[in-house]
Structure 1
Amino acid sequence: MANILVVDDELGIRDLLSEILNDEGHSVDLAENATQARSARMDATYDLVLLDIWMPDTDGVTLLKEWAATGLLTMPVIMMSGHATIDTAVEATRIGAFSFLEKPITLQKLLKAVEQGLARSQANAAPAALATHKPLAAMSDGAVVSLPLHSPVMPADMGPLAHQGFDLDRPLREARDGFEKAYFEFHLAREGGSMTRVAEKTGLERTHLYRKLRQLGVELGRNKRG
């Protein structure tokens, strides 16, 4: 599940995008103008932002410039507009926008752009995580020291890419589905099959939870409880 910020001055578009992205299992925050978007970005870190270009207070390209200049453009930003020119789209891309969606936005184009943006977000996060990871080794006197990332003490051949039992050498969607299936199966087992408690634990609506479980192929069993 990703944290996504949707910035658009049209209520209908905000609601539609929020509904679609929530159905995909993402957490969505909404902003109707640049002022609210600034506040949201200062309070939270997002994996992706969908940003409208034409807004009444400050346009999306100007807001994008602000984030780039202040070091807040740490996530992929997908620009949206129904009236933007090619020059505007090119300028936004030059500043740092990940991609551009023309309104009216089709469901297929939206989901594809979001998937590609989140893949970029995860790719950017991986080097940072590796850079901050310092393996520890115990010395004979009991002291603990940091080892360089390519220390000969670490195995040279890690085998198939895997983490906590998940095969990471797969397309992003397949890897994510595998994790989500295990996640929901864990909570179902811990809550004795109670859909009400699982919905509360995972923060999902019951209808969305049922849809997600069917999509992932999670077997509820005959003894599932409400």
Structure 2
Amino acid sequence: MATILVVDDELGIRDLLSEILNDEGHTVELAENAAQARSVRAMLRPDLVLLDIWMPDTDGVTLLKEWASTGLLSMPVIMMSGHATIDTAVEATRIGATAFLEKPITLQKLLKAVDLGLNKAVAKPSSLMAPVKNGALPMVDLTVEVAMTGGSLPEPVVMDMGPQSMRSFNLEGPLRESRDEFEKAYFEYHLAKESGSMTRVAEKTGLERTHLYRKLKQLGVDLARSKRSAL
């Protein structure tokens, strides 16, 4: 698992992101402003940074530009904002941001962006003021477009699975994606076997009901479909 730095001036946002990422097995460091972010970046060299744009001392885009210009942008940086525009997203991506998430951030989008960032090499921009060729806009990361339009990233193709069926898993892809496929199949199997009873599935899998609900939502398990397939 990774060490992730969360930079946001809102305590509630920091606590929420920390809880979610800790549940995923990551080590989370927190900073409430750019000064603290610089300090943590220098000491720990995080694997990924979640960076808010609007902060009281130095805004996130300026900090991102500072890291890029001084050779410190060696980790994926995911920008976050509740008031940004497409232009801001494009600018952050040109500087070197891996993705741009619009607040309020859904659990699914957050985990997808983090996974993509951790499994993707950081592109080092040749120049902060690189010219645009033929009047075309620079390439924008798919995650930026998805986050700003309120859509969702494409999910892997999933085969129907009943309680007695066997299923093969893709062993060539990233570990997280393969694990998610297995976990989804695992919970779908137990939901079908227990006729959709969350109480019995929680007991069977050893999970507390609230955590089980959150896990099923994160994996995209269709509870209604699971109940129908058990009939």
- Which residue of 163, 172, 175 corresponds with 1:172? 175
SS of the counterpart of 2:120? helix
1:112 aligns to what? 112
Q: Does 1:62 align with 2:62?
A: yes
Per the TM alignment, residue 171 of structure 1 is displaced from its structure 2 partner at its CA by 3.2
Q: RMSD in angstroms over aligned alpha carbons?
A: 2.5
2:227 aligns to what? none
Q: Is the 8 A contact 1:119 1:172 kept in 2?
A: no
Per the TM alignment, residue 86 of structure 1 is displaced from its structure 2 partner at its CA by 1.5
Q: Does 1:52 align with 2:55?
A: no
Per the TM alignment, residue 175 of structure 1 is displaced from its structure 2 partner at its CA by 6.0
Per the TM alignment, residue 46 of structure 1 is displaced from its structure 2 partner at its CA by 1.3
Taking the aligned partners of 1:171 and 1:116, their CA distance within structure 2 comes to 10
Which string of whole-angstrom CA distances, capped at 9 and with x for unpartnered residues, describes residues 28-76 of structure 1?
Answer: 0000000000000011111110000000000000000110011110011
Matching of residues 66-215 of structure 1 within 5 Å: 66-121=66-121, 169-173=172-176
Identity, in percent, stands at: 79
Taking the aligned partners of 1:24 and 1:65, their CA distance within structure 2 comes to 29
Q: Is the 8 A contact 2:119 2:174 kept in 1?
A: no
SS of the counterpart of 1:120? coil
Larger relative contact order (Cα-Cα within 8 Å, sequence gap ≥ 6): 2
1:43 aligns to what? 43
Taking the aligned partners of 2:173 and 2:82, their CA distance within structure 1 comes to 36
SS of the counterpart of 1:100? strand
Which string of whole-angstrom CA distances, capped at 9 and with x for unpartnered residues, describes residues 129-184 of structure 1?
Answer: xxxxxxxxxxxxxxxxxxxxxxxxxxxxxxxxxxxxxx97343315678xxxxxxx
Which string of whole-angstrom CA distances, capped at 9 and with x for unpartnered residues, describes residues 112-141 of structure 1?
Answer: 1111111114x88xxxxxxxxxxxxxxxxx
2:7 aligns to what? 7
Structure with more of its chain in strand, by fraction: 1
Seen in structure 2, the aligned counterparts of structure 1 residues 37 and 176 have a Cα distance that, compared at 3 Å, is: farther
Taking the aligned partners of 2:174 and 2:45, their CA distance within structure 1 comes to 25
Following TM superposition, the consecutive aligned residue runs of length 4 or more in structure 1 with deviations greater than 2 angstroms are 167-172, 174-177
Taking the aligned partners of 1:70 and 1:106, their CA distance within structure 2 comes to 32
Taking the aligned partners of 1:174 and 1:56, their CA distance within structure 2 comes to 37
1:159 aligns to what? none
SS of the counterpart of 2:9? coil
Taking the aligned partners of 1:19 and 1:57, their CA distance within structure 2 comes to 25
SS of the counterpart of 2:62? helix
The one-letter code of the counterpart of 1:36 is: Q
Taking the aligned partners of 2:177 and 2:108, their CA distance within structure 1 comes to 18
Q: Which runs of 5+ in 2 are unaligned?
A: 124-169, 181-206, 216-231
Q: Which runs of 5+ in 1 are unaligned?
A: 125-166, 178-206, 216-226
The one-letter code of the counterpart of 1:69 is: S
Q: Is the 8 A contact 2:6 2:49 kept in 1?
A: yes
